[in-house]
Amino acid sequence: MKCPVCKTASLKYVSLESQIESSQCSNCDGHWISASSYWNWLDEHGERLPEKEPDSTPIEISDVQRAKLCPECRRIMLRYKVGHGTTFGLDQCGSCQGFWFDKNEWEALKERNLHDEVHLIFSAPWQSEVRKGQARQFLDSMYTERFEGDYERLKQLKEWIGSHPEKELILDYLANPEPYSKGAPSSAIK
């Protein structure tokens, strides 16, 4: 099998974890794990571990973002964002279902206890959450830039209004440019 990153380097069998075999490139240190090897390891692994926050010193990852060919069946692999506070993506072959981990990606997942959820990363619900998280980050940075120093106060106000028992009346009051005119909202009348 040839490395999907280096193209010409051959992969050598190694033991990535106890009971999980992988093939490693000696040139770029990437790992190929076949689907059967991963599922066998997961069966032996036991209960899924709870997700952890990353250590203060991040693991340096070599996230190669160009298209890769599966070392087993030579089909183009699909790339999926991991999310959950990580910045890298993983590659999976849509045909044989094997996984490619660029240098230190497995270690970064293991540090967060996400290594026993690799199969979930490629699922539609996981990827939907990743997209929602990216949208939240984008909007948060946009609001931070737009409102500058007032953004924190705005978030506190939003939280206060959201938990207030008269939330609807407060929102009507704020939306009405003339809250003291005859056209006051009907929710103010009890």
Q: List pLDDT tens digits, range 74-99.
A: 999 999 999 988 889 999 999 999 99
- 189 vs 68: which has the higher pLDDT: 68
Whole-number Å distance between alpha carbons of 57 and 30: 21
pLDDT of amino acid 185: 59
Query: Looking at residues 121-149, what average pLDDT do you find?
Result: 93
Query: What number of other Cβ atoms are within 10 A of residue 42's Cβ?
Result: 17
Residue type, 105: E
pLDDT of amino acid 167: 94
pLDDT of amino acid 159: 94
Per-domain residue ranges for the chain? 11-121, 128-188
Q: Is the pLDDT score of 189 beyond 60?
A: no
What is the DSSP secondary structure assignment for residue 9, as one 8-state letter? S
pLDDT of amino acid 73: 93
| Whole-number percent of the chain with pLDDT over 90 | 67
Could you tell me the pLDDT band of residue 149, with boundaries at 50, 70 and 90? Answer: confident
Residue type, 139: L
Query: Looking at residues 44-71, what average pLDDT do you find?
Result: 82
* Long-range contact set of residues 6-13: C-beta below 8 Å, sequence gap at least 24: 11/71
Q: Out of 5-14, 56-65, 167-176, which region has the weakest mean confidence (pLDDT)?
A: 56-65
pTM: 0.74
Provide the mean pLDDT of the chain. 89
Could you tell me the pLDDT band of residue 54, with boundaries at 50, 70 and 90? Answer: confident
